[in-house]
Chains A and B, each alone.
Chain A
Amino acid sequence: MDALTSLHSRTVVLPIRDIDTDQIIPARFLTTTTREGLGDALFHDLRYDQDGQVRQEFPLNDPATRDCDILVAGNNFGCGSSREHAPWALLDYGFKAVISTEFADIFSNNALKNGLLPIIVDVDTHNWLLAHPGTELRVNVGDSQVELPDGRIIEYPIDAFARYCITQGIDQLGYIQQQSDAITTFEETRSWKP
């Protein structure tokens, strides 16, 4: 995973609540055995109609949004299934951060493990961002801060360990492997065995 320390990008806005992982990437694209190339499937059925025609009204289909790294979405983004294909698809498409008032637990875990940053903001800031697509934001990942165009700085909550891993590009498996003595001791000394 690549280290992510800062972002400077305009936003693209999806003003919909409870965007579930089936909408982020429909199940029929999950027969893949790799993590690459899922950007094409991102929001597939929202981007294209049933005949494969582009839905012009869908915000991501506006060419001006193509280089946006930051997605602003409605409350409870990423609910539903545990498919890590959801953050893989968002990253492959080009997003590096998603802003909402709340993220589903598994989505948030999966996102952070792949270097996609879930940014939780308060309702007022969220409403303002929803109403102002294309806003230019700066994100300082190390300080967990978002800077709005008027210079206002918003601090967002993030697990300290996840932030450390994301800013250093650290893969957590290596960290767990360093605890292998503790794992062996646990296995040998626990009071019952599964």
Chain B
Amino acid sequence: MPDASTLFEKVWAEHVVVPETAATPALLYIDLHLIHEVTTPQAFALLRERGLPVRRPDLTLATMDHSTPTTPVSSFRDLAVVGESAANQIRQMEMNCQDFGIDLLGFDSAHRGIVHVIGPELGASQPGKTIVCGDSHTSTHGAFGALAFGIGTTEVGHVLATQCLLQRKPRSLAVNVSGQLPAEVTAKDLILAIIGEIGVDGGTGHVIEYRGKAIRALDMEARMTICNMSIEAGARAGLIGPDDTTIDYLAGRPRVPQGDAWDTAVRRWRSLCSDEDAEFDKSVSIDAAKLQPMVTFGTNPGMVLGVNDPVPDVGDASFRKALDYMKVTPGKPMSENPVDVVFVGSCTNGRLSDLQQAAGILRGRKVAQGVRMLVVPGSQQVKMRAEELGLHRIFTEAGAEWRESGCSMCLGMNGDTVASGQLSVSTSNRNFEGRQGIGARTVLASPATAAASAVMGRIADPRTFN
């Protein structure tokens, strides 16, 4: 390693158990393993088959989020709403956690929620940690200056059994964001613009570090929105160096070090940053001041433009296939499209500040006739806080549905789906064909844009509401 190193290189180096060679990848130690019901059953089955225990149940944190209902669950019979196989998966998760001694934040837990919302909320996601989960949006936890990335089920088995992973070291990509975001332009708009700029494979093989004045100005929830969508640019992970904002957020959370250990940890965290002359393999720059509210127009998150800009008319067969699927017309802005469904939630935009943004627009207004709006808090804690602030009343009075936490309509696994042909404005992270339901047409946007669109009944610019 050169003398000057990046934050990513520092975290990586601290976790190498066996260094990489030309013939073999590095063996990397994992500090926090988050697990959920969908990508673990086959991994636990392997452990049972080989008679292996979980090496560090104390470094493993489990919840259920992907296939869970967002209607209240008071007994297992209620699980029937999501179908027999999903209910079976949920039961297996309970059994696996019990048998292997893993702490499960299950249905009766006030801390249950989307895995990427609860890790930070509990203070388990901390600077300098290596964090993995059988889920690509694990990049979210990079907001704390952790090296956090998604893995497959075979690797989930490796981590359960050994607390380690075989990894080749990725390259580094600096995304420098200068300037200041204009009013009503949010972190979601910024990350969509970044993906539009570098492309859905622009980050492949790289770990992104988001840097610059505009990033420093973001609060932790906004930083999580940014890092969350790193994978949508193909990146292995995305991270942001910890600072006062990070430490203030973590202070007092249940799973942070306590007493003297907190002071020691804070000293260590403060030293975690890229050295000034550290070199990145690649870098790109973006001026935040030039941005506007962004919406997607195609079937991947890189097909994105300003809400009032005309849909481009250039592209190959895949591009035209996407426009056909979305039923959008080149040359016209997305704001001309009528909306059927609005979804506010997910690990991208299901935290309290996201709900506050949406409620800010909806206060005293109504969801347009014929539009279905679903608001799904990212966790039970988010739900509780939102209810303390009365946000749920703003939503229900406007005509939106207020639900229990979970992934819900982000991937439509639990029965919360968008019907075929319907246009959905969604605060989630993927507008892939069929992601929210067979034939569903998804437009990704910020919570403010989503709420504005719900009120107008067509895709709308939230800036016109002030």
B31 touches A18 (CB 8 A): no
A84 touches B164 (CB 8 A): no
Shortest 4 CB-CB contacts between residues of A and residues of B? A194-B31, A33-B41, A110-B152, A84-B152
* Distance in angstroms between the alpha carbons of A25 and B300 in the assembled complex: 16
Q: A82-B135, A173-B161 are in contact. Are A22 and B434 (CB under 8 A)?
A: yes
Q: A18-B318, A28-B413 are in contact. Are A172 and B158 (CB under 8 A)?
A: yes
* Distance in angstroms between the alpha carbons of A44 and B204 in the assembled complex: 26
Residues of chain B whose beta carbon lies under 8 Å from any beta carbon of chain A: 14, 17-18, 22-25, 27, 29, 31-32, 38-39, 41-42, 45-46, 50, 55, 59, 66-67, 83, 85-86, 88-89, 92, 126, 129, 134-136, 150-155, 157-158, 161-164, 166, 168, 170, 200-201, 204-205, 234, 236, 264-265, 268, 300, 316-318, 321, 411-413, 420, 430, 432-435, 438-439
* Contact residues, A2-42 vs B (CB, 8 A): 15-18, 20, 22-23, 26-28, 30-35
| CB of A128 closer than 8 Å to a CB of B | no
* Distance in angstroms between the alpha carbons of A34 and B44 in the assembled complex: 10
Chain A residues lying within 8 Å of B27, measured Cβ to Cβ, are 176, 179, 182-183
Interface centre among A20, A74, A179, A187 (most CB of B within 10 A): A20
* Distance in angstroms between the alpha carbons of A190 and B22 in the assembled complex: 25
B412 touches A28 (CB 8 A): yes
A30 touches B38 (CB 8 A): yes
**Closest residue on chain B to residue A180 by CB atoms:** B162
Chain B residues lying within 8 Å of A84, measured Cβ to Cβ, are 39, 42, 134, 152-154
* Distance in angstroms between the alpha carbons of A79 and B200 in the assembled complex: 8
| CB of A159 closer than 8 Å to a CB of B | yes
| CB of A109 closer than 8 Å to a CB of B | yes
A82 touches B150 (CB 8 A): yes
Residues of chain A whose beta carbon lies under 8 Å from any beta carbon of chain B: 15-18, 20, 22-23, 26-28, 30-35, 45, 50, 74-76, 79-84, 102, 104-106, 109-110, 113-114, 159-161, 164, 172-173, 175-177, 179-180, 182-183, 186-187, 190, 192, 194
B154 touches A110 (CB 8 A): yes
Q: Which one of A23, A81, A106 contacts B434 once the chains associate, using CB atoms below 8 Å?
A: A23
Interface centre among B17, B83, B86, B129 (most CB of A within 10 A): B17
**Closest residue on chain B to residue A26 by CB atoms:** B434
Q: Which one of B166, B413, B434 contacts A176 once the chains associate, using CB atoms below 8 Å?
A: B166
Chain B residues lying within 8 Å of A176, measured Cβ to Cβ, are 27, 158, 161-162, 164, 166
Chain B residues lying within 8 Å of A45, measured Cβ to Cβ, are 433-434, 438
* Distance in angstroms between the alpha carbons of A18 and B234 in the assembled complex: 11
**Closest residue on chain A to residue B131 by CB atoms:** A194
Chain A residues lying within 8 Å of B22, measured Cβ to Cβ, are 160
Chain A residues lying within 8 Å of B168, measured Cβ to Cβ, are 159
A79 touches B201 (CB 8 A): yes
Chain B residues lying within 8 Å of A50, measured Cβ to Cβ, are 420, 438-439
Q: Which one of B32, B136, B157, B205 contacts A173 once the chains associate, using CB atoms below 8 Å?
A: B157
Chain B residues lying within 8 Å of A75, measured Cβ to Cβ, are 201
Interface centre among B152, B153, B157, B321 (most CB of A within 10 A): B152
Q: A160-B23, A179-B27 are in contact. Are A17 and B318 (CB under 8 A)?
A: yes
Minimum CB–CB distance for A65 against chain B, Å: 20
**Closest residue on chain A to residue B233 by CB atoms:** A79
* Distance in angstroms between the alpha carbons of A193 and B170 in the assembled complex: 24
Q: A34-B45, A82-B136, A172-B166 are in contact. Are A74 and B318 (CB under 8 A)?
A: yes
* Distance in angstroms between the alpha carbons of A81 and B133 in the assembled complex: 12
Q: Which one of A32, A105, A161, A177 contacts B85 once the chains associate, using CB atoms below 8 Å?
A: A32
* Distance in angstroms between the alpha carbons of A175 and B433 in the assembled complex: 39
Chain B residues lying within 8 Å of A17, measured Cβ to Cβ, are 316, 318
* Distance in angstroms between the alpha carbons of A128 and B14 in the assembled complex: 45
Q: Which one of B45, B50, B59, B234 contacts A105 once the chains associate, using CB atoms below 8 Å?
A: B234
A179 touches B17 (CB 8 A): yes
* Distance in angstroms between the alpha carbons of A17 and B234 in the assembled complex: 14
Chain B residues lying within 8 Å of A20, measured Cβ to Cβ, are 300, 430, 432
B201 touches A102 (CB 8 A): yes
Chain B residues lying within 8 Å of A83, measured Cβ to Cβ, are 38-39, 152
Q: A179-B27, A183-B29 are in contact. Are A82 and B300 (CB under 8 A)?
A: no
Chain B residues lying within 8 Å of A173, measured Cβ to Cβ, are 46, 50, 154, 157-158, 161-162
Chain B residues lying within 8 Å of A27, measured Cβ to Cβ, are 411-413, 435
* Distance in angstroms between the alpha carbons of A164 and B433 in the assembled complex: 36
Chain A residues lying within 8 Å of B92, measured Cβ to Cβ, are 33
Q: A18-B200, A33-B89, A79-B234 are in contact. Are A109 and B155 (CB under 8 A)?
A: yes
Q: A20-B300, A50-B420 are in contact. Are A161 and B166 (CB under 8 A)?
A: yes
A-B contacts besides A172-B166, A182-B18, 4 pairs, CB < 8 Å? A28-B412, A31-B413, A80-B136, A175-B166
* Distance in angstroms between the alpha carbons of A74 and B315 in the assembled complex: 14
Interface centre among B92, B135, B170, B318 (most CB of A within 10 A): B318
Q: A76-B234, A180-B162 are in contact. Are A113 and B152 (CB under 8 A)?
A: yes
Minimum CB–CB distance for A41 against chain B, Å: 12
* Distance in angstroms between the alpha carbons of A76 and B432 in the assembled complex: 14
A30 touches B413 (CB 8 A): yes
Chain A residues lying within 8 Å of B162, measured Cβ to Cβ, are 173, 176-177, 179-180, 183
B42 touches A33 (CB 8 A): yes
* Distance in angstroms between the alpha carbons of A19 and B265 in the assembled complex: 43
A104 touches B318 (CB 8 A): no
Q: A31-B86, A172-B158 are in contact. Are A106 and B136 (CB under 8 A)?
A: yes
Chain A residues lying within 8 Å of B300, measured Cβ to Cβ, are 18, 20, 79
Minimum CB–CB distance for B425 against chain A, Å: 18
